[in-house]
Amino acid sequence: MIEINYKIIKVDYEEDILGSEGFFELKCNGNLYGEFYPDELESIMDKVSLYDWFTRMLRVVIALEDNSYVVLSDVESYNTWIEFTRMRDEVTLHIVEADKPDGSMDIEFELMNKSAEEWNGATVTYMELKCEVVEKSKQYLAELLELNNQDNENEKIIELEHMIKKMNLGN
């Protein structure tokens, strides 16, 4: 089972779109990556770009259609990656530490100098991963539209909507 949880935190400095910042959490078969904080700590804890997390997760799922190995950089960390290995219908996820040399992209197809690995037993079907990423991305998009007064002409909102449609789930 895979589950994506997020919480939008409204901040004063958002420039592009309201709702782009918050907390993001990825759960897979009892393993957890990311953090949520109680309401009273929201204003002082570091937030992540929810928009970036969702667009990257969509890109990972798209990349897994043609690749058996994809790694996603946690850009908030200097050496943490989420590793996705696909074998037929199953995808195994690991949290790994590895170098991020100059020129590294947020999504890569190989890792150098992998030094640590976490998340034993974090295996789901590709379709479970795809459905969770798409459904939570749709939910996030709906919240963005609501927060931004249905501004469906915003460049970032258009990009997210296009990526979701590209996933072809038929709904």
Q: What is the per-residue pLDDT across 146-169, written as a single tens digit (0 to 9) for each?
A: 988 877 788 889 999 999 998 865
Confidence of residue 77 (pLDDT cuts 50, 70, 90): confident
Is the predicted pLDDT of residue 49 greater than 70, yes or no? yes
SS3 label, residue 52? helix
Residue 160 CA to chain centroid, in angstroms?
12
pLDDT of residue 171: 46
Residue from 161, 74, 171, 86 nearest 127 by CA: 86
β-sheet bridge partners, residue 81: 73, 96
Give the least confident one: 12-16, 32-36, 38-42, 70-74. Answer: 12-16
What is the percent of the chain where pLDDT is above 70? 94
For residue 6, CA distances in Å to 9, 51, 145 come to 10, 11, 16
**Model pLDDT, residue 169:** 55
Distances, alpha carbon 15 to alpha carbons 19, 76, 89, 147, 156, in Å: 10, 19, 40, 13, 12
Cross-strand pairs, 122: none
CATH class entry, domain 2-166: alpha beta
Question: Is there a contact between 4 and 136 (Cβ–Cβ < 8 Å)?
Answer: yes
Pull the structure tokens for residue 36: 């949520």
Query: Could you tell me the end-to-end alpha-carbon distance of the chain, in angstroms, rounded to an integer?
Result: 21
The alpha carbon of 161 is separated from its chain's Cα centroid by a whole number of angstroms, namely 15
pLDDT above 60: residue 139: yes
Give the strand pairing for 21-28 and 31-34.
antiparallel
